[in-house]
Amino acid sequence: MLSVEADLPATVTLAAHPSQSVRAGRRLSRHVPGLLLRLVVALVYLFLLGPIVVIVATSFSPTHSMAFPPPGFSFRWYGAFLHSDSFTAAFQFSLELGLCASLIATLIGFLTAYAARRLMTRSGGVVQSLAMLPLLIPHLLISISILLALNFVPLPDFASLLAGHVLICTPFTVAGITASLDGVDAQLETAAMTLGASRLRAMLEVVVPLVAPGVLSAFLFAFVVSFGDVYIALFLAGPGTTTLPIEIFSYVQWQSSPVIAAITTVQIAMIVVLGLVIERLVGLRRIMRV
């Protein structure tokens, strides 16, 4: 997995000459920390990716057994997923909710990030920090608080769930789009305005096309955040508005079957594809603000 050989000294063989062997030993000991580091990192990656590989393998199990490695190969559990009304409905609902929530979060995120960039440095920074607020408050509390508020202001189930998801996606869209806006020369916009374009027109015709890849990545990332959320939906999902993670959570609490592995494999495949698209567009690192 890691290119370990590249760092090995060329002459590790112990030579007959004592001074040479001492030198080789010293050279080897200088490389020991590096090799050790690579070994540890390889083990951490095994730990990080192992459970995901196991899920994918289990999803092709031909029997009810959750054993790893599975005793054979079949698409049986994918069939079971497609024939389960509750799971397909939840999957479809999560897709719809994720699309709506990430679309709104991207729009709000763009407006906020744009204003934060163009406001004076200090107040812009404040706006940006405030936008991160939903990340610092446990999502559990956000969800319960919205549920409580529904006692006083009745909203349809879908609306409250949507609001909660937009709320937890917005910090990511603001951060991602801000990073993209940083790469745009502010003078381009000034030039457009000098040439007679209104601020709105300069924004739509100069800035937006330049940050389009960043905006699209932010949208996809927000979708992934919404699709994977458990905490907001834990309190706000109701009959007819059950998201996929909630459906899985309530199923797994009482029983276990490889059908869950099949569903999560579909989800993992979808996320890997979206991740690769973001990586091609702007690089996942930019979204994570590394």
Partner 1 sequence: MLLAFITPASVLYALFLIAPVTFFLAMGVMRYDAIQLYQPVPTLANFARIILDSYYRDVVVLTLKIAALTTVLTLLVGYPVAYLLARGRTAWRGILMFLVIAPLMTGEIVRTYGWIVVLGSEGLVNRCLLALGVIAHPLQLLNTQTAVVVALVHILLPFMIFPLISSLASQDPDLVRAADTLGAGRIRSFFEVTLPLSRTGMMMGSLLVFTLSAGAVVTPALLGGKDVTMLGQTIYDLVLHTLNWPLASACATILLALQLGFISLQLRANRRALRRG
| Residues 37-56 contacting partner 1, CB under 8 A | 37-38, 40-41, 44-45, 47-52, 54-55
Residues whose CB falls within 8 Å of the CB of residue 119, separated by 6 or more in sequence, listed in order: 127
CB nearer to partner 1: give 14 or 115: 115
Query: Of residues 8, 22, 252, 277, which one binds partner 1 by CB under 8 A?
Result: 252
What is d(CA 116, CA 177) in angstroms, rounded to the nearest whole number? 11
Locate 149 and state its tokens: 């508020």
Structure tokens at 50: 């192992």
Which residues neighbour 35 within 8 Å (Cβ) at sequence distance 6 or greater?
A: 4, 7, 8
If the CB atoms of residues 36 and 82 are measured against partner 1, the closer one turns out to be 36
CB-nearer residue toward partner 1: 24 or 284: 284
On the 0-12 / 13-18 / 19+ scale of CB atoms within 10 A, 176 is buried
- The beta strands (E) that lie in the chain are given as none
The 8-class DSSP code of residue 7 comes to: G
The one segment of 15-23, 133-141, 178-186, 207-215 that binds partner 1 by CB under 8 A = 133-141
Select the residue interacting with partner 1 from 8, 14, 30, 82 (CB under 8 A). Answer: 30
**In angstroms, how far is the first alpha carbon of the chain from the final one?**
23
CB of residue 227 to partner 1, shortest distance in Å? 7
| Least distance CB 135 / partner 1 (angstroms) | 8
Nearer Cβ to partner 1 (20/145):
145
Measured at the CA of 200, the angle between CA 194 and CA 204, to 5 degrees, comes to: 100
Q: How many residues bind partner 1 (CB under 8 A)?
A: 92
Per-residue interface string for the shown chain with partner 1, residues 256-285, x marking contact by CB under 8 A: x---xx--x--xx--xx-xxx--x----xx
Nearest to 91 by CA among 248, 201, 232, 206: 248
Nearer to partner 1, 111 or 186 (CB): 111
Q: Are 269 and 276 in contact (CB under 8 A)?
A: no
Residues 189 and 206 sit within 8 Å (Cβ to Cβ): yes
Considering the complex, state which of residue 188 and residue 276 has its C-beta at the smaller distance from partner 1.
276
Site residues for partner 1, 66-125, by CB under 8 A, read 66-68, 107-109, 111-112, 114-116, 118-119
Please give the C-alpha separations between residue 145 and each of 151, 158, 161, in angstroms, as whole numbers.
10, 16, 12
To partner 1, the closest distance from the beta carbon of 40 in angstroms equals 5
Report the residue number, 192 or 248, with the smaller CB distance to partner 1.
Answer: 248
Range 174-213, binding partner 1 (CB under 8 A):
174, 199-200
Contact with partner 1 (CB under 8 A) among 90, 101, 161, 167 = 167
Stretch that binds partner 1, among 83-91, 142-150, 188-196, 207-215 (CB under 8 A): 142-150
The one-letter amino acid code at 259 reads V
Do residues 170 and 134 touch, judged by C-beta distance below 8 A?
Answer: yes
Segment contacting partner 1 by CB under 8 A, of 11-19, 34-42, 76-84, 205-213: 34-42
Q: Which of 78, 227, 281, 286 binds partner 1 (CB under 8 A)?
A: 227
CA atoms within 13 A on the CB side of 261: 26
